Amino acid sequence: MTYQFTDKTNTTLVTTQDGIQLFVPVDPENRHYREFLASGEAALPAPAPPTPPEPPTAIEKLAAAGLTVEELKALLKT
């Protein structure tokens, strides 16, 4: 069975048992955590957080607003 930390705080593990995803707190009182310790396995590090998307460019913002550069220039001239 594979265990992986859920985030950089290393306070919760995630694993899959019988097709069910289990979130296991790092707590000696937790039965699943004790099973993990008894297995002798090392937990995988938490996955890297996703990279945030790039902010939209001015052209993309205009397109999202339904405008072209030419239309904006025409609006600003009035």
Domain boundaries, the chain: 4-46+54-77
25-68 tens-digit pLDDT:
999 999 999 999 999 999 999 999 999 999 999 889 989 999 88
Place of tokens 């694993």: 15
CB atoms within 10 A of CB 72: 13
Instruction: Say which residue, 54 or 72, is predicted with more confidence.
Output: 54
